[in-house]
Structure 1
Amino acid sequence: MTMNAPTTAGGNDAAACHGERADELRAAAQAAGNAPLLSKLATDYPRGPHDQPQTMCPAFGSLRVGLRMRRTATILCGSACCVYGLSFTSHFYGARRTVGYVPFSSETLVTGKLFEDIREAVYQLANPAEHDAIVVINLCVPTASGVPLDLLPKEIDGVRIIGIDVPGFGVPTHAEAKDVLTAAMLRYARNEIEAGPVARPRGALPEGPKIALLGEMFPADPVVAGRLLAPMGLGVAPQLPCREWRDLYAALDSDVACAVHPFYTASVREFRAAGRPVVGSGPVGYEGTAAWLDAVGAAAGVTAAQIDAAKAAALPAIRAALDANPIKARVTVSGYEGSELLVARLLVEAGAEVPYVGTATPRTEWNEADRDWLAARGVHVQFRAALEQDVAAMREVKPDLALGTTPLVQAAKEIGIPALYFTNMVSARPLFGAAGVSALAGIVAAQTRDPSRFARMVDFFAPLAAKPKAVPVAAPTKAVRGDLADAIGN
Structure 2
Amino acid sequence: MPDVIPLQGAQSDGRPCQLHPQSMCPAFGALRVLTRIEGCHPVMATDAGCLYGLTFVTHFYGARKSILAPALGTAELMSGEIVEGTRAAIDTAAQEPGCRLVPVVSLCVAETAGLPEEMLPKRVGDADVILVRVPAYAVHSHPEAKDIALAALLRRLGDRDGIPAEKTLVLLGEVFPADPLAIDAVLRRMGVEATIVLPGRSIGDLRRAARAGAVAPLHPFYRESVDLFRKWDMPVVGGAPVGISGTYAWLKSVGALLNLDPDLVEQVAGEERAKAQGLVQSMPLQGRVLVSGYEGSELAYARLLIEAG
With normalisation by structure 1, the TM-score equals 0.56
* Contact 1:56/1:173 (8 A) holds in 2: no
Q: 2:69 aligns with which of 101, 108, 111?
A: 101
Residue in structure 2 matched with residue 380 of structure 1 by the alignment: none
Aligned residue runs from structure 1 range 114-153, under 5 A: 114-127=82-95, 129-153=97-121
Residue in structure 2 matched with residue 255 of structure 1 by the alignment: 213
Task: Give, in angstroms, the shift of residue 106 of structure 1.
Answer: 2.5
Aligned residue runs from structure 1 range 33-72, under 5 A: 54-72=22-40
Task: Give, in angstroms, the shift of residue 208 of structure 1.
Answer: 6.8
Alpha-carbon distance change, 318 to 209 in structure 1, aligned in 2, over 3 angstroms: same
Q: 1:317 aligns with which of 275, 278, 282?
A: 275
Alpha-carbon distance change, 281 to 235 in structure 1, aligned in 2, over 3 angstroms: farther
SS in 2 for 1:335: coil
User: Within 2, Cα distance between the matches of 1:331 and 1:215?
Assistant: 25
Residue in structure 1 matched with residue 148 of structure 2 by the alignment: 180
User: Within 1, Cα distance between the matches of 2:39 and 2:203?
Assistant: 8
What is the letter of the counterpart of residue 272 of structure 1?
R
Alpha-carbon distance change, 168 to 95 in structure 1, aligned in 2, over 3 angstroms: same
Q: Does 1:289 align with 2:247?
A: yes
What is the letter of the counterpart of residue 280 of structure 1?
G
- In structure 2, runs of 5+ residues without a counterpart are 1-19
Q: 1:221 aligns with which of 179, 183, 186?
A: 179
Alpha-carbon distance change, 320 to 150 in structure 1, aligned in 2, over 3 angstroms: farther
Alpha-carbon distance change, 217 to 236 in structure 1, aligned in 2, over 3 angstroms: farther
Task: Give, in angstroms, the shift of residue 308 of structure 1.
Answer: 1.0
User: Within 1, Cα distance between the matches of 2:181 and 2:98?
Assistant: 30
Q: Does 1:168 align with 2:126?
A: no
Task: Give, in angstroms, the shift of residue 264 of structure 1.
Answer: 0.8
* Contact 1:179/1:267 (8 A) holds in 2: yes
Residue deviations 1:345-392 (CA, integer Å, cap 9, x gap): 1111111xxxxxxxxxxxxxxxxxxxxxxxxxxxxxxxxxxxxxxxxx
What CA RMSD, in Å, does the superposition of the two structures yield over aligned residues? 2.1
Task: Give, in angstroms, the shift of residue 147 of structure 1.
Answer: 1.7
SS in 2 for 1:217: coil
Count matched residues: 289
- In structure 1, runs of 5+ residues without a counterpart are 1-51, 199-206, 352-490
What is the letter of the counterpart of residue 126 of structure 2?
G
Deviates more, 1:149-158 or 1:115-124: 149-158
Alpha-carbon distance change, 61 to 350 in structure 1, aligned in 2, over 3 angstroms: same
Residue in structure 2 matched with residue 415 of structure 1 by the alignment: none
User: Within 1, Cα distance between the matches of 2:221 and 2:194?
Assistant: 20
Task: Give, in angstroms, the shift of residue 151 of structure 1.
Answer: 2.3
SS in 2 for 1:326: coil
User: Within 2, Cα distance between the matches of 1:235 and 1:322?
Assistant: 30
Residue deviations 1:405-424 (CA, integer Å, cap 9, x gap): xxxxxxxxxxxxxxxxxxxx
* Contact 1:53/1:173 (8 A) holds in 2: no
Task: Give, in angstroms, the shift of residue 166 of structure 1.
Answer: 0.6
User: Within 2, Cα distance between the matches of 1:303 and 1:110?
Assistant: 64
After TM superposition, the runs of 4+ consecutive aligned structure 1 residues lying more than 6 A away are none
Q: 1:299 aligns with which of 249, 257, 260?
A: 257
Task: Give, in angstroms, the shift of residue 137 of structure 1.
Answer: 0.8
Q: 1:212 aligns with which of 170, 173, 177?
A: 170
Q: Does 1:237 align with 2:205?
A: no
Residue in structure 1 matched with residue 123 of structure 2 by the alignment: 155
User: Within 2, Cα distance between the matches of 1:87 and 1:209?
Assistant: 39
Task: Give, in angstroms, the shift of residue 129 of structure 1.
Answer: 4.2
Residue in structure 2 matched with residue 270 of structure 1 by the alignment: 228
* Contact 1:237/1:250 (8 A) holds in 2: no
* Contact 1:134/1:161 (8 A) holds in 2: yes
SS in 2 for 1:100: coil
